[in-house]
Chains A and B, each alone.
Chain A
Amino acid sequence: MNEKKYAALEKEISPKTPYLRNCIKAFLVGGTICLIGQFVALFYMTYFDFTERTSSNPTVSTMIFFAMLLTGFGFYKKIGQIGGAGGSVPITGFSNAVVSAAIEHKSEGYVLGVGGNMFKLAGSVILFGVFSAFVVALIKTILVKLGVVSW
């Protein structure tokens, strides 16, 4: 059996990836997480002196805290299994990546274990997050200069 034949056979046998179903699941799970985030923002606006703009910081922190608890109790991986990208793209996915790595390497000690491995997964998120933020800000600056949108 040569390489091509094997590839064809493998393609034939392996089940098809249900792209559409995955997309819908990710949309619903990600959307639900964002809906909860919206409620948290509304809570900060109603009961504290935060405006729509300033409420984003405490909202993000709260969502990270929720995801941290869910990861610690082992619920977040179930959400991730159902939602896929819907569970990993929002800020809660970032929190899950940090906390799960910290839990996993706890046995190796607090400094070299937790400290050294905490950002093993999340490091890429930070890098590409900063980079994409730069790109988005650049696009927005251009659009603002052209007068298409306002700040």
Chain B
Amino acid sequence: MLIILFLVSGCSLIDNDFEVQNYSAMDEQEVKDVLASDDRLASAVVLFFEEELIVGVRAKTFSRFHKTKIEKDIKKQLKEKYPDLTITVSADSKIKMETKKLIVKEDQEKLDIGIKKIKSLLKEET
């Protein structure tokens, strides 16, 4: 019984947890609404910086098969809300991790280097 409980504990639902850091003049409420309306997401990290918008999301366990579709859907919705920004959406945990690091560091001067690094990581194929 205990073993079964231990094994299925990974399937438990995680509460929605969205973290937003805004270094631009854009309204961040819209991105929150978009993310909150998608029930396939477990958590997300959002970073606004000048003309850039980086969104790292974590899909729920059984939605992980549709990661590319989730990325595409969110990017499309965000593009409608923020047509002037360069939007990067990724469901890769490394991107979420790196974005979180940038937010925690709070070093605005190094933000553009960090964002460039995130974008180059996404381009990596092998």
What residue of chain A has the Cβ atom nearest to residue B96's Cβ?
A52
A45 touches B94 (CB 8 A): yes
* Interface secondary structure of A, over-half rule: loop
Q: Is the CB of A50 within 8 A of B126?
A: no
Q: Is B93 an interface residue (CB 8 A)?
A: yes
Q: Is the CB of B92 within 8 A of A52?
A: yes
Can you sample 30 A-B contacts with CB below 8 Å?
A45-B93, A45-B97, A46-B97, A49-B117, A49-B121, A49-B124, A50-B94, A51-B92, A51-B94, A51-B95, A51-B121, A51-B122, A51-B124, A52-B92, A52-B93, A52-B94, A53-B92, A54-B124, A54-B125, A54-B126, A55-B94, A57-B126, A149-B65, A149-B66, A150-B65, A150-B66, A150-B67, A150-B68, A150-B72, A151-B68
Q: Is B69 among interface residues, defined by CB-CB distance under 8 A? A: yes
By CB atoms of chain B within 10 A, which of A51, A57, A151 has the most?
Answer: A51
Complex Cα distance A53/B90, Å? 12
* A residues in contact with B94, CB < 8 Å: 45, 50-52, 55
Q: Secondary structure of the B side of the interface?
A: helix
Residues of B participating in the A interface, judged by any CB pair closer than 8 Å: 65-69, 72, 92-95, 97, 117, 121-122, 124-126
B30 smallest CB distance to A (angstroms): 25
- CB neighbours (8 Å) of B93 from chain A are 45, 52
Name the 5 nearest CB pairs between A and B, nearest first.
A51-B94, A150-B68, A150-B69, A52-B92, A51-B92
A145 to B121, CA, bound (A): 28
Cβ of B122: which chain A residues have Cβ within 8 Å of it?
Answer: 51
Q: Which residues of A contact B97 (CB under 8 A)?
A: 45-46
Q: Which residues of B contact A46 (CB under 8 A)?
A: 97
**Distance to closest chain A CB from B70 (angstroms):** 9
Contacts of A150 in B (CB 8 A): 65-69, 72
Q: Report the minimal beta-carbon distance from B69 to chain A, rounded to whole angstroms.
A: 4
- State A55–B124 Cα separation when bound (angstroms): 11
Could you list 17 further interchain pairs (A-B, Cβ under 8 angstroms) beyond the known A45-B94, A50-B94, A51-B122? A46-B97, A49-B124, A51-B94, A51-B95, A51-B124, A52-B92, A52-B93, A54-B124, A54-B125, A54-B126, A55-B94, A149-B65, A149-B66, A150-B65, A150-B67, A150-B69, A151-B68
